[in-house]
């Protein structure tokens, strides 16, 4: 009985925390999550800057439509200075990485550094 | 005891506490990531006189790079105590950005148990070494430091960041 109640409460909590405009399912979810796995805690010591950029670029093209602006901010953070890119404030960058990070953890079931879901 | 053993112990302990050791390579591959900005606050926490000397010296060495060191609690927290691990010093990232791998908060620890009886020169080398990690530097070996003048070396105890170390820090901040 207690287990069932906990399950219902967990489900309700997840539903309440899920951003209204973001889907739980979308056509390219598998590709998005496969590339997001590059950033898992256990992988952080092994990935190069180039691998980070390639993964986030792939995530950007497979992300839900509602997350495209945020993904652009993340890609721009990793592109070399020599390439055209935009800058956002440190606070905005932090806000975007937390928003996308939390979405990744919930949608893909991954564990990212410094993201709590 | 060799610093290679220290490095291995550091990794094991870091995994145990789910924090990541701040050891970044001098090349393109960042093992733990550099600091997330070029203004690093340092907070020391009831250090012994030797630990305090190590922290001051290490801080001054990192100040030779493009990183500006200041006093405060938002970036680097320094501790010393008698830790059970087989390491002289340890630098761990406690808040890393998942996207770019850069580190917002780090803990630096000096192990008074293994450093007991060592001269100020050794403590200064240790301070330089651990603060070097906080600047994103990894270990160096005889093959990449033939003139034996980097405190990021294993096995020996130079007290200063060399020009290669400084260039490597400046490249990532």
Sign of CA dihedral A9, A117, A90, B70: positive
Average pLDDT, chain B: 84
Q: Give the H/E segment covering residue B133.
A: helix B120-134
Q: How far is B93 from chain A (nearest CA, A)?
A: 10
Within a domain: A102: yes
d(CA B158, CA A108): 47
CA dihedral B15, A32, A17, A40 (to 10 degrees): 0
Within a domain: A27: yes
Distances (CA, A) of A79 to A19, A84, B38, B108, B164: 28, 8, 19, 31, 25
Quick one: pLDDT at residue A45? 83
Nearest Cβ partner for A114 among B28, B30, B97: B97
Q: Among B101, B83, B93, which residue's Cα sits nearest to residue B17?
A: B93
> B117 is in which domain, residue-wise?
3-172
Residues of B with CB under 8 A from a CB of A: 18, 20, 28-33, 37, 95-101, 104
Residues 6+ apart with CB under 8 A from A102: A115, A117
Higher pLDDT, B50 or A21: B50
| Chain centroid to CA B74 | 17
Residue B17 has pLDDT above 80, yes or no: no
Q: Among A78, A79, A76, A74, which residue's Cα sits nearest to residue A100?
A: A74
Residue A104 has pLDDT above 70, yes or no: yes
Question: What pairing do the DSSP bridges indicate for beta strands B39-44 and B76-81?
Answer: parallel
d(CA A4, CA B98): 34
Quick one: pLDDT at residue B33? 63
Nearest Cβ partner for B95 among A101, A112, A114: A114
Average pLDDT over residues B102-118: 95
In total, chain B counts a number of residues equal to 173
Quick one: pLDDT at residue A86? 87
d(CA B142, CA A19): 53
Report whether B139 contacts B67 (CB < 8 A): no
The enclosing domain of B9 has a CATH number of 3.40.390.10
A4-34: pLDDT as tens digits: 655 555 555 554 555 657 899 999 999 999 9
Residue A96 has pLDDT above 50, yes or no: yes
Residue B156 has pLDDT above 80, yes or no: yes
Alpha helices in B27-111 (DSSP H): 49-62
Quick one: pLDDT at residue A46? 86
B161-172: pLDDT as tens digits: 999 999 999 998
Within a domain: A115: no
Residue B92 has pLDDT above 60, yes or no: yes
Average pLDDT over residues B79-99: 94
Quick check: ipTM above 0.95?
A: no
**Residues on chain A touching B20 (C-beta within 8 angstroms):** 41, 44-45, 113
Residue B143 has pLDDT above 70, yes or no: yes
Residue B91 has pLDDT above 90, yes or no: yes
Within a domain: A13: no
Residue B1 has pLDDT above 80, yes or no: no
Report whether B159 contacts B92 (CB < 8 A): no
The two three-digit tokens of residue A64, written as one number? 């839900």
Q: How far is B68 from chain A (nearest CA, A)?
A: 18
Within a domain: A116: no
Residue B60 has pLDDT above 70, yes or no: yes
Residue B103 has pLDDT above 60, yes or no: yes
Within a domain: A67: yes
Within a domain: A54: yes
The two three-digit tokens of residue B112, written as one number? 């008074």
Interchain contact, B28 vs A48, CB within 8 Å: yes
A54-88: pLDDT as tens digits: 999 999 999 999 999 999 999 999 998 888 888 89
Q: How far is B33 from chain A (nearest CA, A)?
A: 8
Within a domain: A76: yes
Q: Among B69, B137, B81, B75, which residue's Cα sits nearest to residue B110?
A: B81
- Confirm or reject contact between A48 and chain B (CB < 8 A): yes
Number of domains in chain B: 1
d(CA A35, CA A74): 14
């Amino acid at each position: 009985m207690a287990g069932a109640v906990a399950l219902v409460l967990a489900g309700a909590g997840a539903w309440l925390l899920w951003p209204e405009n973001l889907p739980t399912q979308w056509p390219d979810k598998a590709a998005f999550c496969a590339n997001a796995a590059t950033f898992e805690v256990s992988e952080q010591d092994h990935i190069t800057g180039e691998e980070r950029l390639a993964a986030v670029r792939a995530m950007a093209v497979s992300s839900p439509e509602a997350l495209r602006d945020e993904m652009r901010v993340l890609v721009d953070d990793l592109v070399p200075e020599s390439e055209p890119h935009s800058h956002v404030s440190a606070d905005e960058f932090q806000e975007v990485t937390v928003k996308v990070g939390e979405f990744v953890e919930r949608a893909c079931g991954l564990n990212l550094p410094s993201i709590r879901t | 005891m060799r610093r290679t053993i220290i490095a291995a112990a550091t990794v094991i302990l870091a995994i145990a506490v789910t924090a990541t050791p701040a050891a970044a390579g001098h090349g393109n591959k960042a093992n733990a990531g550099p600091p997330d900005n070029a203004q690093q606050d340092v907070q020391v926490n009831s250090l012994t006189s030797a630990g305090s000397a190590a922290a001051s010296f290490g801080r001054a060495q990192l100040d030779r790079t493009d990183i500006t060191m200041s006093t405060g609690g938002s970036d680097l927290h320094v501790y010393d105590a008698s830790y059970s691990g087989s390491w002289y010093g340890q630098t761990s990232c406690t808040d890393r950005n998942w996207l770019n791998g850069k580190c917002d908060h780090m803990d630096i620890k000096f192990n008074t148990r293994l450093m007991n009886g060592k001269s100020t020169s050794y403590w200064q080398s240790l301070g330089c070494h651990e603060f070097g990690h906080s600047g994103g530097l990894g270990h160096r070996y005889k093959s990449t430091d033939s003139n034996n003048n980097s405190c990021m070396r294993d096995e020996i105890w130079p007290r200063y960041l060399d020009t290669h170390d400084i260039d490597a820090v400046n490249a990532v901040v």
